[in-house]
A and B are shown apart, each in its own frame.
Chain A
Amino acid sequence: MSSHDILEVKHLKKYFGVGKHDVLKAVDDVSFQIKEGETLGLVGESGCGKTTCGRTVVGMYRATEGEVYYKGQNVHKLRGKEKKAFNKDVQIIFQDPYASLDPRMTVAEIIGEGIEIHGLAKTKKEKEEKIAHLLEIVGLNKEHANRFIHEFSGGQRQRIGIARALAVEPKFIMCDEPISALDVSIQAQIANMLIQFQNEMKLTYLFIAHDLAMVKHISDRIAVMYLGSIVELAESENLYQNPLHPYTEALMSAIPIADPKIEDSRQRIMLEGDVPSPINTPPGCKFQGRCRKVMDKCKCEAPKLIEVEQGHFVACHLYHK
């Protein structure tokens, strides 16, 4: 772990038991680092384990195996005061702004809860000022403080969710598809806000999403997940210009681009079939069933994530020497 890394994930595994004998390997041996002040995008299709990975990283789930280090401390071993400090530093913005805010609490209570728990305001007045300020920076006003969640639209709710996360002055935010439930014009508002806050408050993001154009726009580096494993990790520009893994290639070619000329001229790589079930996956590479460059080796041995260029990691036998 270099001194710039704020978070390091080492061989993280998270399995869920399904029925009597089956195991669902939601996260299967994932390793990555996040530098301070950077945004790491985590993309993949639904069911690939990206949300589970994010949740295990911030300590919402206990890891089956492997460790997560936040500023050198093992996240899953923290207790007492240290755990509380970690919870203050690390916040989450959830996907569904309808389900992640308590309908029986006012906006002021939702935002103020964290401030109270971590003792960030000495007086009641200071707390109120803080809440008013937070509402203002997320584009709401202080009259909204005494209202309940049902009075707000989806975009406004997401703003409240962001204000709640920012209330405890965090360093690291796990954004779990924060914009996918919103309308196009509102998505841009929220994305802009996230970019602005990162610059102003030196935040670090783990940005989970399936909208690849938006992820590319927001992230410095991107990790692509498939069935619980990272198949490729690179700087976002590099990943788009030069995708190495056959899955990333297909994924990139499937993103619709809002430009008719590009759409007309480009060649689509069509993936056949669906993502297979993550329960009891066969040995070897997980992508073998849908891969157009499949080799014999892929069926028996799982490829490891190796660095093929500076900062460009890929897990595919094509690139093993």
Chain B
Amino acid sequence: MSQESLLKVEDLKVSFHTYAGEVQAVRGVSFEVKAGELLAIIGESGCGKSVTSRAIMSLVKAPQGEIKKGSKIIYHGKNLLEMNQKEQRAFRGGECSMIFQDALVSLNPTMKIGRQIIENIIQHRQISRKEARQEAILLLEAVGIPNPETRIDQYPFEFSGGMRQRAMIAIAIACDPKILIADEPTTALDVTIQAQIMELIKGLKDKLKTAVILITHDFGIVAGSANKVAVMYAGQIVESGGRDEIFYHPQHPYTLALLGSVPKLEWKNKQLLHAIKGTPPDLISPPKGCAFAKRCNYCMNVCLEEMPEITYFEAGHHASCWLHHKEVPAANKKMFQDDRKMIIVNENDFVVDEDQSYE
């Protein structure tokens, strides 16, 4: 894929000022998405994945929130962070829109669904209210809501959870955005409804060539939908790469540990899971070295002292871990590889020249 990237985030740093001190929620995140591509950002709660997406939508508000100097979010060669209010407003909702986790909280309970969709259309396009209404009905139909003509005049409370999420997707895609950010779109939903919503999002990506940034904590959803995956931990991307690389050939101990803590269907019943010990660090005073060091099974002295460098592997796959440094003893590397063989049962299906990846 030599296609140019649509959105590029460079060294994004976001902090929140609280009574307890400055919380460094995002600490230098860089990634890019291309049109028609689905990038999944995966991580535990508090790792900064939602804050990253909010920063793209300029929803991080002063005075508590602060996007640090030097952060860049580049869309069509323009830095979003330097745009004025008017340009930002045109970008938000028009070029880029967002689906939130909790549809009941995100929709306005006092406005009819139709009006909320029409509002977005009129804001960004020069058409009459009547035309916009026709458009809204088509949108509701497109996202799979039955009887859109009657549903359009109903309030959010009359919709079920899955339908609210669909209505929110209808609002998000009303202006054919180039980028769609989905922040845990299915977390509050049941599995059968979750499958429906994910199909809908995948369909948008394929049909309209929308770039999708999917924020989630569920590896199952990532496996079924993503092209690229970025794993976040304590405000940083620790590993990023193509979907298959991340699933069958993870290079960061945290990615491996996350994969190991999800029960696999072929595993024996009641076999102990590979749980990660401890809890994530406090981001008010983040650790000096690697943020994962304290919970890592392969921790070395250097990990506690210094931030690891980024090691690049095959096409677009990179991880920040000292384990891949050339001076690290082979025994440590082997330990990690052995564990990986144990956790990822069908690793052999995915063949990569092992020696090359450690160059």
Q: Which residues of A contact B (CB under 8 A)?
A: 45-46, 153, 155-156, 183-189, 191-192, 195-196, 198, 210, 212-214, 216-220, 236-237, 240, 250-251, 253-263, 268, 270-271, 273-275
B7 to chain A, nearest CB (A): 24
Question: A213, B279: Cβ atoms under 8 Å?
Answer: no
- Contact partner, B220, options A183, A213, A220, Cβ 8 Å: A213
Closest residue of chain B to A276, judged by CB?
B160
Q: Quick one: closest A residue to B194, CB to CB?
A: A254
Q: B192 contacts A188, CB within 8 Å?
A: no
Cα–Cα distance between A192 and B46 once the two chains are bound (Å)? 23
Q: Which residue in chain A gives the minimum CB-CB distance to B186?
A: A256
* Neighbouring B residues of A271 by C-beta, 8 Å: 192, 195-196
Most buried by A among B44, B218, B273: B273
Among candidates A192, A237, A260, residue contacting B223 with C-beta atoms closer than 8 Å: A260
Instruction: Determine if B244 and A260 form an interchain contact, defined as CB atoms under 8 angstroms apart.
Output: yes
Smallest CB–CB gap between A50 and chain B, Å? Answer: 12
Within 8 A of A (CB), among B215-252: 217-224, 243-244, 247-248
- Give the contacting residue for A45; candidates B192, B223, B260, B277; CB below 8 A: B192
**Out of B193, B264, B276, which one reaches A258, CB within 8 Å?**
B264
Query: Whole-angstrom distance between the alpha carbons of A210 and B274 in the complex?
Result: 21
Known: A45-B192, A254-B191. A237 touches B269 (CB 8 A): yes
**B148-179 to A contact mask, C-beta < 8 Å, 1/0:** 00000000000011110000000000000000
Known: A155-B279, A260-B223. 18 other contacts (CB 8 A): A45-B190, A184-B217, A185-B275, A185-B276, A191-B263, A192-B272, A214-B263, A217-B267, A237-B269, A256-B194, A256-B195, A256-B221, A257-B224, A258-B222, A259-B264, A260-B224, A263-B220, A274-B161
The complex places the Cα of A155 from the Cα of B279 at a distance, in Å, of: 9
Q: Say whether B346 contacts A261, CB under 8 Å.
A: yes
Q: Which 10 A-B pairs have the closest CB atoms?
A: A256-B220, A188-B261, A217-B263, A258-B219, A188-B275, A45-B190, A263-B224, A185-B276, A254-B195, A188-B273
Chain B residues engaging chain A, CB cutoff 8 angstroms: 44-45, 146, 160-163, 190-196, 198-199, 217-224, 243-244, 247-248, 257-265, 267, 269-277, 279, 346, 349
Q: B223 contacts A257, CB within 8 Å?
A: yes
In the complex, the answer to whether B223 meets A256 with C-beta atoms within 8 Å is yes
Q: Choose among B191, B243, B261 the residue that contacts A185 (Cβ–Cβ < 8 A).
A: B261
Residues of chain B with a CB closer than 8 A to A250's CB: 192
In angstroms, Cα B270 to Cα A219, docked, is 8
Residues of A within 8 A of B277 (CB): 189
A255 to B218, CA, bound (A): 11
Q: Which residues of B contact A196 (CB under 8 A)?
A: 272
Chain A residues within an 8 Å CB radius of B224 = 256-257, 260, 263
Pair B162/A274 contact, Cβ less than 8 Å: yes
Distance between Cα atoms of A271 and B257 in the complex (Å): 33
Residues from chain B with Cβ under 8 Å of A187 in the complex: 261
Give, as a whole number of angstroms, the nearest-CB distance from A63 to chain B.
26
Assess the A216–B191 pair: CB atoms within 8 A.
Answer: no
With A188-B275, A263-B224 as known contacts, state yes or no: A217 contacts B270, CB within 8 Å. yes
- Tell me how far the C-beta of B6 lies from the nearest C-beta in chain A, rounded to whole angstroms: 23
Which chain A positions have C-beta within 8 A of B265? Answer: 213, 216, 240, 257
B218: chain A residues within 8 A (beta carbon) = 184, 256
**Alpha-carbon separation in the docked complex, A191 to B270 (Å):** 9
A195 vs B276: C-alpha distance in the bound complex, in angstroms?
Answer: 16
CA distance A218 to B273 in the complex (A): 10
